[in-house]
Chains A and B, each alone.
Chain A
Amino acid sequence: MGPPRSKKRRPTFRRLLKTSGMKLENKLRNRQLKQQNVAKKQRKEQKKLRQAVKDAAIRTPRPLETYRKRPEEDEDEFLDSLPTDMMEDDDLQQMTAMAQQASFITRDLSSCGPVHGGKRRSSEVVRGYEKVPRKMARTEEKEVIHLLPIKDKTGVIPQSVERVVKKQQENDKEEDAAADDPREVENEMEPPGAVQLTAEQMEQLRVEKIDQKKLLIASLGSAVIADPIRNIKRMKELRGMLMESDPCVAVTVRKLVMVSLMEILKDIAPTYRIRPLTSAEKATKVKKETQQLREFEEGLVSQYKFYLEDLEQTIKDWKQKKKKRSQAVGFHSYHSLAEVAIRCLCELLLALPHFNFHNNIIVVLVPLMNDTSKKVSDMCCDAFRKLFQQDKLGGASLATVRVISGLVKNLNYNVRPEVLRTLLSLRIKEVEMKKDIEATAPKKKFMNNKEKKKNLSRMQRKWKKAEEKLEKELLEAEASESKEKKIKLHTETLNIVFLIYFRILKKAQKSVLLPAVLEGLANFAHLINLEFFDDLLNVLQNLIQSGDLTNRESLHCIQTVFTILSGQGDVLNIDPLNFYSQLYRMLLQVHAGLPNDDIIIVLRCLDAMLIRRKKQVTLQRAMAFVKRLSTLSLHVLPNASVGLLAATRATIHAFPKCDFLLDNEVQGSGFYLPELDKPEHCNAQNTALWELHTLQRHYHPVVQQLAAHLCQGAPSEGVGALSVELSRRFPVELFGDYSVRDMTFNPPVATPPTRKKDRFSAGAVLLDTKLQRQVDSVLDAAEGTQLDFTHTTTQH
């Protein structure tokens, strides 16, 4: 890229009138300086380029020789104290050893560089760090900007500011990458040419080489970015550096190239997919510019393809090395190379979802989500989570979900639960629920000519025509087709997701994936197709009744069931009594200890079960739930208490008859049986919410407020009414608001209400009677008559 272009226009006459002579002079000077700088820079760059090309030409033809100079592995350890004359013997040994492995060497020269991957010295790490920034500092260029002078007693003082020229993005990235892996910088040792070099010199040489390479990469990269259409060939050159063979810098240079290429591609890739030209298109003659563009596109696609292949190959190499432990000498650097490659792929996955080969990237990355290396799998899972979140069209999600489905099936459900958890981030809000509904929806039909002629007058026909035209245009503008397409894609995606879930529910109930599946089902329950309901309900019922589930999993089951039923399932006439009893029973197993966070699922279930289905719930059941909820709020953390009390409030509002629970009168027969797990038969109408008085003494101010409010029968207005910020929020939101996870105090700690002082101690009497006794006993104790101070003097 060229130097920053001066944005200042040539001073117009009007401006000249306004600005002072000094300022103009400064401006002129600045401009001149800048031009000088630009010229200098260009010259420099050219020189560097020439130099780099020359270097590359010199070095490439003799890769084998480099091995001779490479020190023995162990030597790295002693590099600092190393007597250099010893090196030759070791080198010889090494060479013979290498000669035996000739096949490996010749097969892939470039991969031999990092053979010493694992070994490094910490002292050198420090030195490497030290050197990198120094180089950076040197490349920074400063520009002097002259400002208006200041005048004071001594006279006029000229002012100027130094501006650091921002380096190009690529360079930064590369430097970052280099800084990221200082060990890499240390990894590959050893210069080619010099035989009699000290370790330090070798190190220095290496750093210099890396710097040269960086400059080369930077110049190539900036050339491509500056004019991609013309310089697409440069990419090839750059890509060629991926095969860097100089063993002492190979790993670093490769990483740098990978990252820079990734950034370049992100920048220059067009926002549309490039399709191959048909032969007819090729045959026709086109304008010169079009021709140029076509060439560029072709070049870009092929370069992109090769680049992706290279990355894939790197990852494959690493995978294979892993299996063949015997040859895994440079396993470490393979590993780090592959990590960089995966990172690049993840970035591209997110940055270019519309571009060619996106599916290929997905296919490569999905199996890596299940990788044994946690870092790799986390990286991939994160990438896909983000992809799901930002994918607006749904195509990429669909492809991914397909591949995941295949993966889960192929691995026989032995995948990490995280893989399935990524599906939770799918952005699916609506799908084609019922095809028939859509089909019956009145479609706006345009009349054909015949009808028109029959029904309308001429004038009307004219009007109608104009109207239709307008409507058609409007439809186009709305891009309603893409929406339809999106829904179609979503439907398909969701079908595959449910396919994954149901397969696991049916075939692998014992697998570790079950919690993730249940969570997913609960999440997408409102989108489940009606025809699955029966089966699903049965499966869930069986699961809960088997008793193998943890509380949390059961709660997820219940949540799923009721989300289904409160959605389109309300047409089904099922009374899920069992699930009510289940939840009722489970309520007492939740408490302030570990399961406190399950309350949020409970709150969601309650919303679906009591509030949304209030028509189907009997008063008996509602009262039993109210009673148990308020009991439960005695045993959970304040945020859960607030949530539960808010849910109780909502229930009382939904079932106004619940105010029985505020009276102390017996209705009908029987006593309340608190330990019974059947909400219908526990006679909740015969008890009262006495625990609200305990809750009014709760240490948390908001719980106190809510309890007092409920005591008054939860009036929505008047004296006992709640404040707006409490009454307008949903229980689930309140649960989050008052969470104590990060030790914040919500509400904040109050200041003392009065300036009045409390009087506690009257005179010399102490508050603590026991302490008073102790004090008295000490005071009463007769003073020993024989006090002996002598030792104090003699001591000294």
Chain B
Amino acid sequence: MAGKQKRKLEDLNVDEFLASAFDSDGESEDETPKQNGVKKKISLTCKGKASEHKQQLSRLKNKDPDFYKFLQENDQTLLNFDDTDSSDNEEDNKYHRLPSTLEDDNDEDSQKGSKKSVESIKVTDKMIEGWKAAMKKEPTPRIFREVTQAFKAAVATTKGEGGGQCRYKVADSSVFNSLVLFCIRDIYVALQRMLNLKPDKEQKKLVLPSSSPKWQKNQIDIKMYLGGVVQLLSCLTEATVISAVLRHANQLVPYYLCLPKQSRHLIKQLLKQWSTGEETSRVLAFLALNKISRHKQETYLNPVLKQMYISYVQNCKFTSPNALPMINFMQRTLTEMYSLDTHASYQHAFIYIRQLAIHLRNAMAMKKKETYQSVYNWQYIHCLYLWCRVLSTLYPSDVLQPLIYPLCQVIIGTIKLVPTAKYYPLRMHCCRALTLLSSSTNTFVPVLPFLLEIFQQVDFNKKPGRMSKKPINFAVILKLGKVNLMEKAYKEGLIDQLYDLILEYFHTQAYTIGFPELALPTIIQLKAFLKECKVANYCKPVRQLLEKVQENSSHITARRQKAAFGVADATAVVAWEKQIQEEGTPLTRYYTQWKKLREKEIQLEISGKERMEDLDLPEIKRKKIQEKKAEDKKEFKDLFESDSESDDDEDGGFKIKGKPLLMHFQSLSSLLPDLKNQ
């Protein structure tokens, strides 16, 4: 810290040097830097020497009467320089929480003494109007400094400090409001104008403000302002307001990129918003994070990815119909982030998939309940799903391709860990993930055996033990209770799920030349089921499924019989498959029809669910708490411990409590299982 302080002082010294340089030949310079130089000169070299200041001011008055007049009108405080000039210096120190160090304590102490006795200036609406007008006209560093000071004071009030050490005071909430509004609306444009920055024509590359010649002189003020924005962000609670500030922060990203410390703080806040905020704020936070990582990959991409993944894991402990869209959003956005640099993503994915594999291996070795709880939880499943999505979205990628194999093996191992009826829902999630991965990466994964096994294991003829009032939502559960296993709803749900999953899987393979062989065990199994099962309700969908699969199977068989090439001719096979895919098969046609219907059904279900929500929620919560909380916490703490150790100080601010996300997300489409949109 002392080092930093020193560095800052050194900065100042440079400034000072520049200032004096400007001062000496400032005549030829235009007005702005000169003022700046003067001010610096005043503030830094002549502290506490009132007479000298007065002399300088009077000199200024002589040299540039207009400006002096302007000062008199607009900024009385500057003229009362002897108590205020040091304040920005002081403020900066305070912002960085630095103790007054030896280098300048003599000056500071005397300043402080004098300062405390003087009242801060109250910001009024009129002042704000004045600033606004001035900014519109011609943004100058001086006005910007004023506004920054005021903004800082305003932000300080949110911390409850009352801005005792600021030059200004913001007491009135309406003043606060208009000040902040003014800032987030006009400052960006003003800054751009002030630094004379023009947006790049091609929109490709971000124009960094540090490229401006005026950057050096304004750096301190901008730094302070950016710090204020982050601070403001940290203490806001209302969604609309947060979004507004985030928008502003988004505009300011280039500025942040020039200031490493400020951007670290910003990233911290953005991550918090991204993982726990409201929909709009999440999106905006993501955009800002994406921008930051994209434009300064070498410094920010890796830490941001790591922190995002950790936040993701922390925030997907609980899965409910409400939380699902959030998790989905996080998955999608994380995928976007991983697409920035596939080599970095390979490293991340490799480590985290290996971590998942290690957990699974331990669970396999121990064969105890506690250990397989470390695998059979939502966090684990969502992580699997995340990687499936990443690998499927980023296909084809030579870099990430090798990871498909370990991921498949981990998912299949997860299915096989405890293959009992209790964990059928978990198995369905895994199968869904595998289907997604397999279809979008053109990889073959044996998924069907795990689904068909259910037909063998469950006795569908057995009369259900009890009736149940509502259907089981397989999307938000991992395991079934003993009671559930007896219910009629369970078997109905199971048939539905099996139908969906088998159809989806076959849909992804419908055009392949090996389809008849792939379908053979399914056909045999479904026939056997129809022979045994006496319940008409279950038989109907199964029969339909069987018909469609058989139809597709015979279609492919007939087509390939006519083919003029042999098995060895790989290129011809690829061409053939492509042709079949374009032509469409009976199954694909049926699937598109079915999907439309199914979506409608799900929408109906959701609207029905919303009404039921109040009934639904407490139950889900209770389940979560008793089942997962404790071991999840423990489990995933050590899961990531090794990784987060290196930046512990950073983490301090990131610890986000895993509170339930009570948000209302109305977009229906996001509730649908994502496969259907692929």
B76 touches A (CB below 8 Å): no
Are A663 and B394 neighbours in the complex by a CB distance under 8 Å?
A: no
Among B340, B408, B444, which residue has its beta carbon within 8 angstroms of that of A761? B340
A389 touches B (CB below 8 Å): no
Closest to B446 in A: A592
Are A792 and B236 neighbours in the complex by a CB distance under 8 Å?
A: yes
A740 touches B (CB below 8 Å): yes
B593 touches A (CB below 8 Å): no
* Binding stretch for chain B, among A87-95, A185-193, A690-698: A690-698
Are B335 and A591 neighbours in the complex by a CB distance under 8 Å?
A: no
Are A693 and B237 neighbours in the complex by a CB distance under 8 Å?
A: no
CA distance A36 to B568 in the complex (A): 88
Type the 1/0 row for B201-232, where 1 means its CB is closer than 8 Å to any CB of A: 00110000000000000000000000000001
* Binding stretch for chain A, among B107-115, B141-149, B558-566: B558-566
From residue 545 to 580 of chain B, which have CB atoms closer than 8 A to chain A?
Answer: 560-561, 563-568, 570, 573
Are B332 and A770 neighbours in the complex by a CB distance under 8 Å?
A: yes
Are B514 and A691 neighbours in the complex by a CB distance under 8 Å?
A: yes
From residue 566 to 587 of chain A, which have CB atoms closer than 8 A to chain B?
Answer: none
B104 touches A (CB below 8 Å): no
Are A757 and B342 neighbours in the complex by a CB distance under 8 Å?
A: yes
A749 touches B (CB below 8 Å): yes
From residue 424 to 461 of chain B, which have CB atoms closer than 8 A to chain A?
Answer: 438, 442-446, 448-450, 452-453
CA distance A751 to B512 in the complex (A): 29
Are A690 and B560 neighbours in the complex by a CB distance under 8 Å?
A: yes
Are A768 and B393 neighbours in the complex by a CB distance under 8 Å?
A: yes
CA distance A592 to B456 in the complex (A): 13
Say how far B135's CB is from chain A's closest CB, in angstroms: 19
A271 touches B (CB below 8 Å): no
Of residues B157, B181, B405, B564, which shows the largest number of chain A Cβ atoms within 10 Å of its Cβ?
A: B405
* Binding stretch for chain A, among B359-367, B478-486, B532-540, B630-638: B359-367
B287 touches A (CB below 8 Å): yes
From residue 157 to 215 of chain B, which have CB atoms closer than 8 A to chain A?
Answer: 157-160, 170, 173-174, 176-177, 180-181, 203-204
Among B287, B444, B667, which residue has its beta carbon within 8 angstroms of that of A695? B444
Are A767 and B444 neighbours in the complex by a CB distance under 8 Å?
A: no
* Total chain A interface residues with beta-carbon distance under 8 A: 78
A784 touches B (CB below 8 Å): yes
* Binding stretch for chain A, among B117-125, B499-507, B518-526, B651-659: B518-526
From residue 240 to 269 of chain A, which have CB atoms closer than 8 A to chain B?
Answer: none
Are B160 and A796 neighbours in the complex by a CB distance under 8 Å?
A: yes
By a CB distance below 8 angstroms, the chain A residues around B410 are 743
Chain B interface residue count: which class?
A: 35 or more
Among B180, B518, B564, which residue has its beta carbon within 8 angstroms of that of A789? B180
CA distance A405 to B405 in the complex (A): 50
B18 touches A (CB below 8 Å): no
Closest to B451 in A: A593
Among A697, A701, A758, A770, which residue has its beta carbon within 8 angstroms of that of B399? A758
Say how far B496's CB is from chain A's closest CB, in angstroms: 21
A778 touches B (CB below 8 Å): yes
A763 touches B (CB below 8 Å): yes
Are A768 and B409 neighbours in the complex by a CB distance under 8 Å?
A: no
Are B364 and A789 neighbours in the complex by a CB distance under 8 Å?
A: no
CA distance A752 to B394 in the complex (A): 14
By a CB distance below 8 angstroms, the chain A residues around B174 are 790
Are B177 and A694 neighbours in the complex by a CB distance under 8 Å?
A: no
Among B243, B402, B566, which residue has its beta carbon within 8 angstroms of that of A688? B566
Are B444 and A694 neighbours in the complex by a CB distance under 8 Å?
A: yes
B529 touches A (CB below 8 Å): no
CA distance A619 to B304 in the complex (A): 63
By a CB distance below 8 angstroms, the chain A residues around B236 are 789, 792
By a CB distance below 8 angstroms, the chain A residues around B453 are 591, 593-594
Are B560 and A592 neighbours in the complex by a CB distance under 8 Å?
A: no
A788 touches B (CB below 8 Å): yes
A634 touches B (CB below 8 Å): yes
Q: Is the interface of A mostly helix, strand, loop or mixed?
A: loop
Q: Is the interface of B mostly helix, strand, loop or mixed?
A: helix
Of residues A695, A713, A791, which shows the largest number of chain B Cβ atoms within 10 Å of its Cβ?
A: A791
Say how far B52's CB is from chain A's closest CB, in angstroms: 40
Say how far A472's CB is from chain B's closest CB, in angstroms: 59
Say how far A628's CB is from chain B's closest CB, in angstroms: 9
Are A692 and B237 neighbours in the complex by a CB distance under 8 Å?
A: no
B12 touches A (CB below 8 Å): no
Say how far B1's CB is from chain A's closest CB, in angstroms: 27
Are B419 and A793 neighbours in the complex by a CB distance under 8 Å?
A: no
By a CB distance below 8 angstroms, the chain B residues around A749 are 350, 402-403, 405-406
Say how far B670's CB is from chain A's closest CB, in angstroms: 8
By a CB distance below 8 angstroms, the chain A residues around B357 are 743, 745
Are B283 and A778 neighbours in the complex by a CB distance under 8 Å?
A: yes
A164 touches B (CB below 8 Å): no
A794 touches B (CB below 8 Å): yes
Q: A699-B445, A792-B237 are in contact. Are A775 and B287 (CB under 8 A)?
A: yes
B663 touches A (CB below 8 Å): no
Closest to B282 in A: A778
B65 touches A (CB below 8 Å): no
A518 touches B (CB below 8 Å): no
Are A752 and B567 neighbours in the complex by a CB distance under 8 Å?
A: no
CA distance A767 to B238 in the complex (A): 30
By a CB distance below 8 angstroms, the chain B residues around A753 are 398-399, 401-402
Q: A690-B560, A752-B346 are in contact. Are A796 and B514 (CB under 8 A)?
A: no
By a CB distance below 8 angstroms, the chain B residues around A767 are 335-336, 339, 393-394
B79 touches A (CB below 8 Å): no
Type the 1/0 row for A671-689, where 1 means its CB is closer than 8 Å to any CB of B: 0001100000000000011
A760 touches B (CB below 8 Å): yes
By a CB distance below 8 angstroms, the chain A residues around B365 are 742
Provide a sorted-by-A list of 16 A–B residue pairs whose CB atoms are within 8 angstroms. Answer: A588-B524, A593-B450, A635-B449, A638-B409, A662-B566, A693-B567, A696-B570, A697-B444, A700-B408, A742-B365, A751-B402, A771-B336, A781-B280, A789-B176, A789-B177, A793-B154
Beyond A761-B336, A784-B244, A793-B173, 9 additional pairs, beta carbon < 8 A: A588-B524, A594-B453, A699-B404, A711-B568, A743-B360, A743-B364, A758-B394, A778-B243, A793-B170
Contact surface of A with B, Cβ cutoff 8 Å: 588, 591-594, 630-631, 634-638, 661-664, 666, 674-675, 688-701, 711-713, 740-745, 749-758, 760-761, 763-764, 766-768, 770-771, 774-775, 778-779, 781, 783-784, 787-796
